[in-house]
Structure 1
Amino acid sequence: MWGQCSQMCHNVFIVESVCVGWFSLEFLLRLIQAPSKFAFLRSPLTLIDLVAILPYYITLLVDGAAAGRRKSGAGNSYLDKVGLVLRVLRALRILYVMRLARHSLGLQTLGLTARRCTREFGLLLLFLCVAIALFAPLLYVIENEMADSPEFTSIPACYWWAVITMTTVGYGDMVPRSTPGQVVALSSILSGILLMAFPVTSIFHTFSRSYLELKQEQERVMFRRAQFLIKTKSQLSTMSHDSDLLFGSVSSDTRDNN
């Protein structure tokens, strides 16, 4: 089993190395062709590419350092720290999926909407924090005073319950048993629905506007590309026609001289 697992890990490592090599080559070519290197490195998609590519190379360096320490008989504490770093870096490889944002209009729209609606998201978070700070201690006091078997052992536990309840997730792991506690729970559910509905309209309109802008920009890029191809094709056909006329006249002059 260990041999089969090692062979499988080796195959996955080869595939990953080929993919990361291709991504690295693409990144270097785009960096070389960029008019402004600083603006290129500051773009969000470039940062995503760096965060997705760099863990592979850092993992190779850390693996080499860990192997050297293991051969020299170093302590296990260093190897444990190295193992933790490697696990974190391997988890960052999930960001390869974010590279799809470069080719997906929907993901680009989502990122642009999140950047434009920071104020709305901040207001939503503020509303939820205020409501959670109101309902969680109230439910804790009511349940510990009136319930026969209270499930809420602390106010931080009530904060967890308030977050899950107001966002309408409702795990059901913590449930109020007394009637006043259930009334508080119903109030928190309704207030959570209303508070989350306030900024949703603005976020939706921003999403629709961002989608239309990105779609129009994509259509303009495709139109320019098509115009460039048509212009290039017409220039090539004109050049070939001129060369045919030139060579035809030269050949007729040669026949006349003969």
Structure 2
Amino acid sequence: MSSQAQRPPQSKACTSSVLSSSVDKRPHIGISTLHNRPSSTWGGIRYTFPWSTLEDFPECRLSHLYLCTTLREIAEFCDDYDEMQHEFFFDRDPLAFQAIFSFLAKGKLRVLHEVCNVALHNELLYWGIDIGQMEPCCLHRMMSSVEKVAEHQCKEDERRERRRVLRAPVMEGSIFHMLGEAMENPHSGLAGKVFAFLSVIMVVVTVVSLCISTMSDHQQGDATGECSQKCRSIFVVESVCVVWFSIEFLVRFLYAQSKLEFARGPFNIIDAVAILPYYVSLFLELRDESVQDIVAGAGKSTLDKLGLILRVMRALRILYVMRLARHSLGLQTLGLTIQRSMTDFGLLLLFMCVAVTLFSPLVHLAESELAPNAARSPQLSFSSIPASYWWSIISVTTVGYGDMVPRSIPGQLVALISILSGILILSFPSTSIFHTFYRTYTELKEEHKRLWKEERGAELATEAEESMKERETWPDNWPENDFLPGLDDPSFLFMKDITVLAQSKSHHPPLSPVTC
């Protein structure tokens, strides 16, 4: 078995005139891997080894070549075949084939530092090599790169699809189009940034007004049925914020091309749940029936239930805080981290359930059976296993409220073991979740930086186009040297490059980026 880097001989293409010819089975196989066609000036790398090398790899592409009897069959598994030299030519990466050649010769499949892990993965699929044959350390490194690239590509596809779905077929340059673009894309320009800033301010004002409405003096006014000046001011502020959110929600809905996809969006569902309570409570308060009529017709219990419903619906306004995730990189990172770490959280929940189920009967046995005379409050005693579940949850999570405390020596030993077990349980998935959070935060930062560069490039290209159009209107004998910088001036060279870029993209204007 040998390999040598040299220029391969001129090959014969597998044309239809020779497809019916038979193939001579020689004891050795010759392979040339090239980046380009066999007529490349720099040649390629030739590998020669006996057919018997492939006996342990029946699913390999080269093993299928051995079973071919006609040139037509060979053409399905290689790019070219030299019938005179009995050599097969493949238009593949020669560096990646070195790892495959080493695997066929020595039975060891490892990654190469010179080859991209994703490219090597694709080459293994092409040559029909089982990926599971790779060394565990190399396999983990390669699959991590493949999964990362696949996830990035999936995000890009989702971003393009979301942009296509959330764009209504409206006229480019119209007011409605610009308004919808500013709402959906904060990076679309100054309008998008201003809208994002106002949206954040409205959310903060809504949360502050909700907190003020729960103060004691405001609640006393609600109890007496009288509305003070502070109450009216809070109502006006709340109404302005809700009107802003309602207009934004309506514009997003009209701007969306697919209304069903818009209704399925998590942020849109949160917006609807946060906006509806205001209108429902306003409708109930503006009904013609007075409170006395409701009490007389339905009774006090119905009125209490109605008041409870109104208070719960008003409290749902706190969901406006979730709207900050549209404009906050940190909240987006938190959401993606939770989504990507669902397996780790599920494993953590399983560990917690097992620990709670284990320590609850133990502490009940230690406190009620082994030390029944220990002094304790009847309300906070370990009288049953279900009553001990609360203490076990608080102890395993290392919170320790102190409302239920074991008094006996056996109970305290159980408490010590449960606390130490809780520390170990919480530490197991923490490292994985932290790395997921860091990786997600880094990816989002790079994506935002890329969007900013695209936005800046689009602005510079637009300015260059306008400058180019303006210069086309100048007279031919315009004294440019009196008004323009020197040809070696850096600013002139920069604008020249931007002008060339604008000319090359004049038929394809840059699209505005979209925030995922």
| AA matched with 1:110 | L
- Structure 1 residue 113 corresponds to structure 2 residue 334: no
Q: Which SS does the other structure have where 1:216 is aligned? A: helix
| AA matched with 1:231 | A
Q: Tell me, in whole angstroms, the C-alpha distance in 2 between the residues paired with 1:71 and 1:177.
A: 55
- 8 Å CA contact 1:161–1:174 kept in 2: the answer is yes
- Structure 1 residue 75 corresponds to structure 2 residue 305: no
- For residue 144 of structure 1, what is the aligned residue in structure 2? 368
- For residue 128 of structure 1, what is the aligned residue in structure 2? 352
- Structure 1 residue 159 corresponds to structure 2 residue 389: yes
Q: Which SS does the other structure have where 1:170 is aligned? A: coil
| AA matched with 1:56 | Y
> CA deviation digits over 1:58-97, x for unaligned, max 9?
22123234x5263645323332222111011011111111
- Structure 1 residue 174 corresponds to structure 2 residue 404: yes
- For residue 30 of structure 1, what is the aligned residue in structure 2? 252
| AA matched with 1:31 | F
Q: Tell me, in whole angstroms, the C-alpha distance in 1 between the residues paired with 2:429 and 2:307.
A: 44
* CA spacing shift, 1:125–1:235, aligned 2, 3 Å: same
Shift of 1:243: 4.2
Q: Tell me, in whole angstroms, the C-alpha distance in 2 between the residues paired with 1:208 and 1:8.
A: 45
Residue 211 of structure 1: which of 428, 441, 447 is its match?
441
- For residue 188 of structure 1, what is the aligned residue in structure 2? 418
* CA spacing shift, 1:99–1:86, aligned 2, 3 Å: same
* CA spacing shift, 1:5–1:154, aligned 2, 3 Å: farther
Q: Which SS does the other structure have where 1:144 is aligned? A: helix
Unmatched segments (≥5 aa) in structure 1: 249-258
- For residue 202 of structure 1, what is the aligned residue in structure 2? 432
Flag the structure with larger Rg: 2
Counterparts of 1:95-110 in structure 2, within 5 Å, are: 95-110=319-334
TM-score of the two chains, using structure 2 as the length reference = 0.45
- For residue 262 of structure 2, what is the aligned residue in structure 1? 40
Shift of 1:35: 4.0
Residue 241 of structure 2: which of 10, 19, 35 is its match?
19
Q: CA RMSD in A?
A: 2.3
Residue 316 of structure 2: which of 73, 89, 92 is its match?
92
Unmatched segments (≥5 aa) in structure 2: 1-216, 479-516
| AA matched with 1:16 | E
- 8 Å CA contact 1:55–1:93 kept in 2: the answer is yes
Q: Tell me, in whole angstroms, the C-alpha distance in 2 between the residues paired with 1:41 and 1:213.
A: 27
> CA deviation digits over 1:81-130, x for unaligned, max 9?
22111011011111111111111111110011111111211111111111
More strand by share: 2
More helix by share: 1
TM-score of the two chains, using structure 1 as the length reference = 0.87
Q: Which SS does the other structure have where 2:324 is aligned? A: helix
- 8 Å CA contact 1:55–1:90 kept in 2: the answer is yes
Kindly tell me the number of residue pairs found equivalent between the two proteins. 246
| AA matched with 2:252 | R
Identify which range, 176-185 or 23-32, moves more after superposition.
Answer: 23-32
Q: Tell me, in whole angstroms, the C-alpha distance in 1 between the residues paired with 2:263 and 2:467.
A: 40
| AA matched with 2:245 | F
Shift of 1:218: 1.1
* CA spacing shift, 1:243–1:19, aligned 2, 3 Å: farther
Identify which range, 93-102 or 76-85, moves more after superposition.
Answer: 76-85
Runs of 4+ that moved beyond 4 A = 1-5, 243-246
